[in-house]
Amino acid sequence: MSKLNMVKALNLALQQEMERDPDVLVLGEDVGVDGGVFRVTDDLQRQFGSRRVIDSPLAEAAIVGTAVGMSLYGLKPVCEIQFSGFAFQCFHQIENHAARYRQRSQGRFGCQMVVRMPYGGGVRALEHHSESEEQFYAHIPGLKMVVPSGPRAARGLLAAAIRDPDPVIFFEAKALYHAAKEEVPDAPEVLPLGKARVDREGRDLTIVAYGAMLRVAREAAETLAAEDGVETEIIDLLTISPLDRETLAASVGKTGRALVVHEAPRSFGPGAEIAASIMEGAFLSLEAPVRRVTAYDVPFPGFAREKATVPDAARVLAAARETLAY
């Protein structure tokens, strides 16, 4: 095994998938010569050439629209959108075309492609660079919505996304790119899409998180254990859509209490769907209302107010203690 950060782990996934399958290719702004804005595609153009690692114009709609056409001709494109806040320029290509070809062709054609997007706060970026907009893509039938929480999960899930026969939106938390290293197997590893992971076992409270919020959940759980004697179970969603409802219900069936943490704005966000799913799957086990700790229902601010917007361990702790005291 090698100890890799998330950038290196994603690069390894792309390299191994391109070696495995000559139909896999990468396209996006600066992905070739420069290796991507965050260097996720570093050195791939040298290894695989400019016909498989394609520097595109600054035109998100063209990137995704071209990938849709490539997919229909049998290629397996992996698009990079430099920041998820810019993806509305290609939203119509994702919603109107990529997500619909399976149904539009009555099952004859899928649209095998991945759209990678860095998302979220934590790097003190400017407007349109730090939003968490996973709710838009999780809401669209025909798409899968994946958010890894660490290097090993990122490598295994990106490999699975590339091999999936239908379009996958792949969100990468910028705050995690260089946050930590993790042991990643040298041999290719594929993790299942649509399957959550129990990151920490407990019996008193369930915290549901994903992406960069997994670190916040872990920090809060450690404090709860040390100061309150509370055993917290943490569910790392990994895939938002399809949602692993069975794992959520099983955990809350054991703990009786649940807290959802995400960076997206609260209203109509993933927390609402997760809470409803827990209500449907574990209603008779609930001993307190399901709470949400989220960003606020405002546009993401400039970096001076970033820390006040993104949930931190203090906010999670306060909500957890209210839930436990209910």
Catalytic residues, which ones? 129
Alpha-carbon distance of 149 to 172, in angstroms, equals: 8
Q: Which of 252, 246, 259, 184 is closest to 216 using CA atoms?
A: 259
Instruction: At 303, list the tokens.
Output: 């970096």
When computed from its CA atoms, the radius of gyration of the chain, rounded to whole angstroms, is 19
CA angle in degrees (0–180, nearest 5) for 119-160-192 = 100
First to last CA, the chain: 45
Q: Under a CB-based contact definition with an 8 Å cutoff, are residues 117 and 171 in contact?
A: yes
Alpha-carbon distance of 162 to 25, in angstroms, equals: 10
Q: Where are the alpha helices (H) located in 132-195, listed in sequence order?
A: 134-138, 151-163
Contacts of residue 98, Cβ cutoff 8 Å, sequence gap at least 6 = 64, 67, 68, 71, 111, 113, 115, 142, 143, 167
Three-state DSSP state, 118 = strand
Q: How many CB atoms lie within 10 A of CB 228?
A: 15
DSSP character string of 51-96: TTEEEPPS-HHHHHHHHHHHHHTT-EEEEE-S-GGGGGGSHHIIII
